[in-house]
Amino acid sequence: MDSITATAQSWLTDFFDDATKKEIQHLMKNDPEELKERFYKDLEFGTGGMRGVMGVGTNRINKYTLGKNTQGLSNYLKKSYTDSNFKVVIAYDCRHNSKTLARTVAEVFSANGIHVYLFSDLRTTPELSFAVRHLGCHAGIVLTASHNPPEYNGYKVYWADGGQIVPPQDGEIIAEINALSFEDINFNKNEALIHLIDKEVDEVFFEASVKNGNFNAKGKDDFKIVFTSLHGTSITAIPEVLKRAGYKNVTIIEEQAVPNGDFPTVESPNPEEPEALKMAIKKAEEIGADMVVGTDPDSDRLGIAVRNLEGKMELLNGNQTMVLMTKFLLDQYKAKGFKGNEFIATTIVSTPMMEQMAKAYGVEFKTALTGFKWIGKMIKDFPNSTFIGGGEESFGYMVGDFVRDKDAVTSTLLACEIASNAKANGSSFYKDLIDAYVQFGFYKEKLISLTKKGMSGAEEIKQMLKDFKENPVKVVQGSKLLWIEDYNTSTAKNVQTGEEKPINIPKSNVLIYETEDGTRIAARPSGTEPKVKFYISTNAKLDKAADYYSVNSQLETKIDGILSELNL
């Protein structure tokens, strides 16, 4: 008997419920391939905790895999703290089974003598991050699969600082989980330790969001916003935060305002994809709105569309919104006077324009691996430094440090403040962005994402990255290769001089080429989805705003050439 069948058979004991056993027996008889997919490995923690397809099996999200996580985490908490009055807070999003699974997780914690603050209904991920510190908890859990397809769910772990767990802690927690068998899960709940929470935390979170995202912008009465929660959790927070900050003209896309794990009106509830905001953009054109904002199901990412120079709605990418938000915050700090300990941050696959701005403003620039947990870790690691703001190309942004994860709630307010103020001053969000290109250099990025599912897909991704490393390009669009940054070996090598420099951030499966003209091409596998991603960044000098379209066109042609050269 092979090991996969043996693992599946171990789920046929009396410990497992009848429905689970019945399904496994059915798969054993009728669908050995599906059985293999479900049991060939254990679900692992990636850049965003554990995420996977729901269903029966070790490679699926279900009450047993999440129960085992929770039992391991309970054991780890008891080893990590001498404190005996343990507290955790749990939130969940709009996905199928999220409420039930959150309840299961709460019950396992309570069975282990841990006090649980469980949100009575769905809430945003930033509110969970905020609640960890607000309630003085040792840890927090959010059940979400972000913008993955409807069949997915996930389990993200936060620590006492409100940030996601990072190495070596994640490894230590995984070791605790792996040391357990499923039969070690304690499902004997203690109801007295489960406390439902809602408005009392909402109120403080809304206040903090308005305090951090509101800059008393001009022109709010004349500023029209179209907002969509894409069937997710942000409907519980963003309309209220905008209202409290003084925005009266907010049109909500009602068809997408009802939380629904099937995401019935979109192919994918991902604001990175133009199709997801189609309904909102159509409405904005109809009513002459100034801005469209859409958020993903757990409300940590936001997509923004604004009117371009021709007056048409255009969806901006994560790098563009990050750059302008950061510039606006830098200007606010500069007006008050820098104290000399401020920093901004982004990730290694995001736009190099962030570093150029940091230099221009004389603030420190920090860069991290992909995944917002690394930016949260910076705040924890440098308690005497002040985090102004920062984000990543994948539509995530964080304003200040009151939340320790990407936060579409406060970022939405900030984007509206920038755009409303710009409009009142005779400019626009788009024009201000072009002015930033004139000031700091015009950086244009593109992401190519290839999906490769299952066991064969994982092998294909591995091979693509191996080829990228072992057969590097020599020239990209006429510019010679200068540096190869290998994050697996923590080494950057100048291919022209042979000089090597250490990369002082944790190891990761990422490879970046940089050419003489500053073009950057990064390749990495996704930590949460069966995808391999290629990030391309090009740049050019923009002498004046009037040259924007011609220079933009040159950079687009260059990116097309790069894709062709790399066979992407």
Spatial distance between the Cα atoms of 552 and 104, rounded to a whole number of angstroms: 52
Position 37: which residue type? Answer: E
For the cut 70, the answer to whether the pLDDT of residue 188 exceeds it is yes
Residues with Cβ within 8 Å of 521's Cβ and at least 6 positions away in sequence, in order, are: 473, 476, 512, 513, 534, 535, 536, 537, 562, 566
Is residue 389, in this structure, part of any structural domain at all?
yes
CATH of the domain at 484: 3.30.310
pLDDT confidence of residue 46 = 60
Determine whether 146 is an active site residue: yes
8-state DSSP, 529: S
Is residue 352, in this structure, part of any structural domain at all?
yes
Is residue 276, in this structure, part of any structural domain at all?
yes
The answer to whether residues 169 and 210 belong to one domain is no
The residue annotated as part of the active site, out of 129, 146, 209, 394, is 146
> Over the Cα atoms of the chain, what is R_g?
24
The answer to whether residues 49 and 169 belong to one domain is yes
Of 411, 437, 463, the position where a domain reaches its end is 437
The answer to whether residues 502 and 453 belong to one domain is yes
Is residue 447, in this structure, part of any structural domain at all?
yes
Closest CA to 545 of 467, 438, 387, 458: 438
Is residue 18, in this structure, part of any structural domain at all?
no
pLDDT confidence of residue 257 = 98
On whether the CB atoms of residues 394 and 408 are closer than 8 A, the answer is: no
pLDDT confidence of residue 48 = 58
The answer to whether residues 476 and 560 belong to one domain is yes
Closest CA to 145 of 270, 51, 44: 51
Residues with Cβ within 8 Å of 235's Cβ and at least 6 positions away in sequence, in order, are: 229, 252, 257, 259
Residues spanned by the domain of 475: 442-566
- The sign of the torsion formed by the CA atoms of 261, 262, 265, 271 equals positive
Q: What is the three-class DSSP state of 397? A: strand
Average pLDDT estimate for 294-308: 97
Spatial distance between the Cα atoms of 164 and 253, rounded to a whole number of angstroms: 31
The answer to whether residues 338 and 406 belong to one domain is yes
Position 500: which residue type? Answer: E
Spatial distance between the Cα atoms of 274 and 467, rounded to a whole number of angstroms: 31
In Å, how far are 167, 224, 315, 395 from 303, measured between CA atoms?
30, 16, 7, 6
The answer to whether residues 211 and 359 belong to one domain is yes
Q: How confident is the model at residue 460 (pLDDT cuts 50, 70, 90)?
A: confident
For the cut 80, the answer to whether the pLDDT of residue 289 exceeds it is yes
On whether the CB atoms of residues 563 and 555 are closer than 8 A, the answer is: no
Beta strands in 289-441 (DSSP E): 291-295, 302-307, 313-315, 342-347, 364-368, 386-392, 396-399
Segment 199-225, tens digit of pLDDT: 999 999 999 999 999 999 999 999 999
The answer to whether residues 314 and 448 belong to one domain is no
Q: How confident is the model at residue 416 (pLDDT cuts 50, 70, 90)?
A: very high
Of 437, 472, 487, the position where a domain reaches its end is 437
pLDDT confidence of residue 409 = 98
For the cut 70, the answer to whether the pLDDT of residue 437 exceeds it is yes
Q: How confident is the model at residue 461 (pLDDT cuts 50, 70, 90)?
A: confident
Of 197, 221, 236, the position where a domain reaches its end is 197
In Å, how far are 106, 130, 375, 390, 441 from 343, measured between CA atoms?
37, 21, 11, 9, 20
Q: What is the three-class DSSP state of 242? A: helix
Spatial distance between the Cα atoms of 447 and 534, rounded to a whole number of angstroms: 6
Give 241: exposed, middle or buried? Use CB within 10 Å, 0-12, 13-18, 19+. buried
CATH of the domain at 140: 3.40.120.10
List, in sequence order, every residue forming a beta bridge with 327; answer none if it has no partner.
none
On whether the CB atoms of residues 341 and 313 are closer than 8 A, the answer is: no
Spatial distance between the Cα atoms of 431 and 437, rounded to a whole number of angstroms: 10
Residues with Cβ within 8 Å of 362's Cβ and at least 6 positions away in sequence, in order, are: 338
On whether the CB atoms of residues 534 and 543 are closer than 8 A, the answer is: no
- The sign of the torsion formed by the CA atoms of 312, 317, 318, 323 equals negative
**Summary mean pLDDT of the chain:** 95
Segment 220-235, tens digit of pLDDT: 999 999 999 999 999 9
Spatial distance between the Cα atoms of 366 and 345, rounded to a whole number of angstroms: 5
- The sign of the torsion formed by the CA atoms of 328, 204, 261, 62 equals positive
The answer to whether residues 278 and 390 belong to one domain is yes
Residues with Cβ within 8 Å of 110's Cβ and at least 6 positions away in sequence, in order, are: 116, 189, 190, 191, 192, 193, 194
Segment 506-543, tens digit of pLDDT: 999 999 999 999 999 999 988 667 888 999 999 999 99
Segment 4-50, tens digit of pLDDT: 999 999 999 999 999 999 999 999 999 999 999 999 998 886 655 78
Q: Looking at the 3D structure of the chain, how many domains does it have?
A: 3
Spatial distance between the Cα atoms of 196 and 461, rounded to a whole number of angstroms: 43
